[in-house]
Structure formats: C-alpha cells, structure tokens
Amino acid sequence: MALLASVFVVAACGLVYELAAGALASYLLGDSVLQFSTVIGSYLFAMGIGSWLSRFIERQLVAQFLRIELLVGLIGGLMPAGLFVVHNLLPAEATAPFRVLLYTLVGLIGVLAGLEIPLVMRILKRHFSERYALKDLVSQVLTFDYLGALVVALAFPLLFVPHLGLVRTGAFFGLLNAGVAVWALWLFRGELRNFWAHAAACAAVLAALLATMAGAGRLTTWAEDAFYGSDIILRQSSDYQRVVVTAGPAGVRLFLNGNLQFHSRDEYRYHEALVHPAMAAHAAPRRVLVLGGGDGMAVREVLKHPGVEQVTLVELDPQMTRLFSQHPRLVALNGNALASPRLRVVNADAYAWLEGNREFFDVIVVDFPDPTNYSIGKLYSTSFYQRADQALAAGGFMVVQTTSPLFARKSFWTVAATLEAVGLQTKPYHAHVPSFGEWGFIIASRRPWTLPQALPPGLRFLTLEGLPALLHFPPDMARVPMPPNRLSQQGLVATFEEEWGRVER
C-alpha cells in the first residue's frame, strides 16, 4: 500500500512541474493558451518517450527508480528558480535561449516522469505478484496515478501558488519526490547495492531543495529588483496576480504580473481621457459603473462630477481595492477615492457580475488590462459588450480603454468592430500618455456622441479646445477592416500578441 501511495505522490509531482512550466511560460512569454498547449504537449510526448525507454531497464529496478526520483525531484524542483534566474540574466529581447532551456527542462522531466510508472508496476509485480494479479496491480497503480493528478490540479492554483509562489511550490514538490526516493531507500535497503552512496545522493538532493525553499524569498526579491530597476515599496501576490509598486525620483509605478499599469507622472492624462469625454457628454450622469480600475484612479475622475450620486466599482481582485484604500502612498494617488460614501465596491468577475446585474447606469467605464490572454480577451468580446449594453441606461455612454492605435492598430480597430457588432455606435479617440505612447479609447452608445460643452474644473490635461484633436486619426492610425472578437474565436488575443511582440522585438 505504501508503494501505491508513492504513485499518488509521483503523479502529483509530475503534474505540478508541468503546470509550473506552463505558468512560467505564460507569465514570462505571454499568450497563456499557446504556452500551456505547447508545454503540455511537449511534456506528454516526452513521457511517451520515457515509457518506451523503460523497456531497456532490466536490472536493479529499485536502484534505477530511486535515481529517477532524485533526478525528477532535483530538476523539477529547481526548474522555476532556474528559469527565473536565466530570464533575468538574459536581455529582454533574447527569448530564444529561454525557450530552448524551458523546453529542454520540460522534455527531460517528461522523459523521467514517463519512466516512473512502468518501473513502479514492474517493482510491484516482482514483489507482490503472489498477492495481486497483474490486472489488479495495473488498476490500482493507474487509479492512484489519476487521483494524484486530480488533487494537485485543484490545489496548484487555489492553494500552492497563491501561498507558496512558483519557486517554493516547485521546491516543495521536489522534496516530495526526494521523499519517495528516501522511502524506497529504506524499504528496499536489503537489496540495494551501494546503500551509502544512494543515501548520500538523497541527502544532497534534499539539501539543495531545502536551500531553495529557504532562499525563495530572496531569489524572488533579486529577480524583481533586477526586472523593475527601481525601489520596490510593495510586492504582494494575490489569488489572481503579482502586484508590484515601485517608487523612484520620477514617481510611482504599478505593475501587475510584470506589466506596467500606470506611472504617477502621467496617469492623469490616461484617466482624464478615459473618463471625462463620456461623462461630460452625458451632461447629467447620476449612476456610474466602473469595470476594472481597482486602483481607484478612474473613480477619482468620476467623482469630479458633482451630480454623480453613486459609483459602482467591480474589481476582480480584493487585494487591489484593499491596497489602494489603505496604503498611504497609493491612497494619495487616487485622492482617497475608494473611501468615498458615493462608492460601492464589488469584488467579483465583471463578466459573471454583469450576467446577474439588474441595474442601469448612465455611464460605464471599462478599464481592463490589455487582452494579453484569453481570460482577459473574453472581456473584449461581443458577448461581454452585449451584457454591458444591457446595463446601459437609455441615452447612456460606455467608454473602453482600447490599447494603442499606433502600435496595435489592428487590435484597436478590432475592438471598434466588436462594439459595432452588438449594435452600438462608436466614437474612437486617442491621447498621448508618455509612459505608454499613443493610447486609444472608444465611446460606445445607442445615441450619437457629441462634443461636451463643459468639463469639470481643475483638469490637468483635457480642455474643450483640445478635445477635437483627440478625434483625429492620421494615416498610420487610420481604421483598417477587422472582424469582431467573439468569445468562441478570440482573434483579438492573437492579433494583440503579434502586434506588441513586433514592437518589443
């Protein structure tokens, strides 16, 4: 029974390394669907090679199994730490060496994982053939194998990564693999040659993995310091993302999963352009919905309109709204907007929240991150905009942040086509935000949008005289025909990745 329990551990560890590699690839390279698909496909193919190679292992099965467990534990357990280090040492544009290392490690771990189960079955058959028929052994081994995969598939995103992080999670499961090796060493100590050599190898692997567990925090700190290049005043992992805030002579910056969200020196340009053209054109907005924007900056601008009676902020990550309502440096940036009595904060997925919503809003401000993956891409789909349109009051306006019409021209006009596909009229415009470059927005509504006659006092960027210039698109940003982004076929994500990848190269 103990050997069958080890199958559970082996399966759990193998799947964790696969998930960790996919998560790292999507985090560091983008396009989560592509990265997970290629990592999982490569891993399963390598497992098949390992299973085929197991036929050539004929002697010292226990010793070979012990060595394989140590190798899987060492390579798999150190893989997240190693990939983080290599990624930070390489130039930002040098992704090819990182990819080679990533898939080499995935292939190596897959081959070793493919060797494990066939060897376990042969060991069980050799030692317990009198008690169990072959069909029973195969049935039990595969049952424990699949059960281990199920448990870790649920625990990886919900428990391990949020609380341990990728580096510690990898090292922890490496320790479990090494623990199986130590258990095999003790259980079969009578038939192992060179017992003390195996014991020394176990001790060395355990020491390396324990050191990685202990130094994971310092490693993460070093990697982030090297990446962000400024004084980090806050770093936290929530259930949804890695939040890093830096502060330097030029100002404060917010990064989510390594992507810049705002720079305090020019965020007012972005948020004024996002909020006021729609709010001021409505003339008398009383109820406003802000989707995303957990930093409170868009809410700050909305509250500059004295006629607003209630603002509903729907932000997925409660950690964001907590930080920006409590951290003194961040509260100063949003003017303590998240403490306003006119604000109602809802921590929920905007897509699901809109489905159950029965309220109507005069203005809807959509301030989501760019569509870098399919989970965000659904928030730029016809299905999402249909739900948002149902929440829009008669005569209301919705405004969407829409990436750069200069660097991601096709992506920008894809969003326009998507909004129009659900029957909305669109009014695209753009503004220059130095930290991001030329940035785009789209107002969508059932009635025509016209230039506002007044703006709130005290704005630092927008003026009535300057608004018409935001509506002009020169030839290099002019409209190109693009299909709408649909939930069943999110072409926007691939287009966005292609355009911004070209810019970064």
Q: Which residues are part of the catalytic machinery?
A: 367
**Contact between residue 285 and residue 305 where contact means Cβ atoms under 8 Å apart:** yes
List strands edge to edge, sheet with 437-445. 343-346, 310-314, 287-292, 361-367, 392-401, 437-445, 425-433
Can you tell me whether residue 364 is helix, strand or coil?
A: strand
CA-derived radius of gyration, the chain:
27
Give, in order, the Cα–Cα distances in Å from 241 to each of 265, 320, 374.
24, 10, 15
| CA pair distance 427, 416, nearest whole angstrom | 9
Asked if 303 and 285 touch (Cβ cutoff 8 Å), the reply is no
Q: Which residues pair with 245 in a beta bridge?
A: 234, 254
* Burial of 68 (C-beta count, 10 Å sphere; 0-12/13-18/19+): buried
Q: Which two tokens stand for residue 268?
A: 């007012």
Strand duo 310-314 + 287-292: pairing: parallel
β 287-292/361-367 pair status: parallel
Other CB atoms within a 10 A radius of the CB of residue 132 amount to 15
Q: How many helices (H) and strands (E) does the chain have?
A: 17, 11
Q: What is the DSSP string of 20-70?
A: HHHHHHHHHH--HHHHHHHHHHHHHHHHHHHHHHGGG--S-HHHHHHHHHH
Please give the Cα distance from 85 to 223 (Å, whole number). 7
The token duo for 475 is: 């030839």
Quickly list H helices, 357-426. 374-377, 382-390, 409-421
Structure tokens belonging to residue 187: 């259980």
Structure tokens at 420: 């129009």
Q: How many CB atoms lie within 10 A of CB 384?
A: 23
SS in 3 state form for 233-293? Answer: EEEEECCCCEEEEEEECCEEEEEECCEEEEECCCHHHHHHHHHHHHHHHHCCCCEEEEEEC
Q: How far is CA 454 from CA 92, 99, 204, 281, 288, in A?
A: 45, 53, 72, 8, 18
